[in-house]
Amino acid sequence: MSAELTGNVLVAQSGGPTAVINASLAGVIDEALNHECVEEIYGGLNGIQGILQEELIDLAEQSQQTIRGLRYTPSSALGTCRYKMRKDGDFSRVIDVFKAHNIRYFFYIGGNDSQDTADKISKTAAANDWEMRVIGIPKTVDNDLVLTDHTPGYGSVIKNVATTVRDLACDAQAMAQHDMVYILEVMGRNAGWIAAGASLAKRRDFPKDPPHLIYLPEVAFDANKFLDDVAEVLKTEKYALIVVGEGLVDENGNYVSTSSGATDSFGHSQLGGAGDYLKGLIDQHIDGIKTRSVRLGHAQRAAATNASQTDNNEAYQAGQAAVRAAIAGVTDKMVTLIRGDGDQYSCETGLADLSEVANGVKHLPADWVNPDGVSLNHKFVKYATPLIQGEVVVPRENGVPAYIRLSLNKVDKQLPPYALG
């Protein structure tokens, strides 16, 4: 494939939002503007769903102030989706849209399922003799993408969760008399990276700091052990602060709680309620305990006011790296983050095959969990601490964050309407 390919860029965002996904978008736009072979820069609204419906906007016409504002604005400025391409018509329609708008560079910012979609689109383009470059840009608060040391979005979410743990601890410390349990439920479908991140709230020289107990999807849940763990903490502490991942499973691998069997378009169970499940066990089996279950939900992943500057910088660099790779002739890859070997933290970008990333799951290493199954050791702390460093400066208006919004003036459609599903 020739390194010189003149045409237009299309970038889209997919899956769950994060505090820094727009930093990757800003990286794509800023870098694409530097290359003469790029004629136009388009954004697809609501991920692949918007591309199928030919809902595109001109990103190059956005003001420089707006593009800079993407660096501190959370969630997906272009909109997102969880649409799974299934029928042949979906794939042929995507190529028709690419041809109609001369899309030669496609960047998809997303997680596991999004990388799978990017891989399929690339293969479809090749099969239809449409020359283009497809690069995936990693995004997920879950940190479960394979072949990358960590994922943009993860550092910010665990900084937010650890901060929340410290806030709740102050509340509990003021009220409790060996009779109170706070349970904080965090995201994490199949991997406990976010729950593990709560351990960063502990001060180095105070091992009994909260969170006192952390329950991970990688460790099979035992209700009797859980009740014993809680009782043991309350013997010496005024309160017990527990963190649980939403994907907690029993010894048979079944989720302890799901949302009435509901699934998304990719077949993933809709989770939620693990914290309430643990609360119910305590209420039923331990007398005289006041139990509070707190579910951060979507608020944990888009809290830009607690975002990590390190995370933000790396998200931006991933967007830049994707464009540089594509311009150089690379395709069918996802940008990865590679940690340096030195004592001082450093990180550079690399590339991995989309087909090897798609639908894989990276679990928390077993040897990062202590033998008690409810706490993390120094290996995790060494891994995660650099990812939460620095604060993103967010401008404020009347005391609240002044986030930006993209101008959504749409590019003229050239194709007949298309029905999804």
Greatest Cα-to-Cα distance within the chain, rounded to the nearest angstrom:
72
Strand extents, DSSP E, 168-282: 180-186, 213-215, 239-245, 258-263, 269-271
> Whole-angstrom Cα distance, residue 47 to residue 283?
43
Comparing CA positions, the residue from 397, 384, 241, 394 lying closest to residue 304 is 394
Tell me, what DSSP letter sits at residue 219?
S
Comparing CA positions, the residue from 307, 305, 289 lying closest to residue 242 is 289
> Whole-angstrom Cα distance, residue 51 to residue 334?
20
> Whole-angstrom Cα distance, residue 313 to residue 310?
5
Q: Are 77 and 17 in contact (CB under 8 A)?
A: no
Provide the token pair at 68.
Answer: 């800079």
Q: Which residues of 296-329 are buried (b: 16+ CB within 10 A; e: fewer)?
A: beeebbbbbebbbbbbbbbbbbbbbbbbbbbbee
What is the C-alpha R_g of the chain?
Answer: 22
* Other beta carbons less than 10 A from residue 245's beta carbon: 30
Q: Is 393 exposed, middle or buried (0-12, 13-18, 19+ CB in 10 A)?
A: exposed
Q: Are 142 and 113 in contact (CB under 8 A)?
A: no
Residue 276 designated active-site: no
Bridge pairing between strands 180-186 and 213-215? unpaired
* Other beta carbons less than 10 A from residue 379's beta carbon: 12
* Catalytic residue of the set 30, 90, 142, 144: 142
User: What percent helix, strand, coil does the chain show, rounded to 5?
Assistant: 35, 20, 40
Provide the token pair at 118.
Answer: 């990017």
> Whole-angstrom Cα distance, residue 70 to residue 47?
17
3-class DSSP state for residue 287? coil
**Which residues are annotated as catalytic?**
142
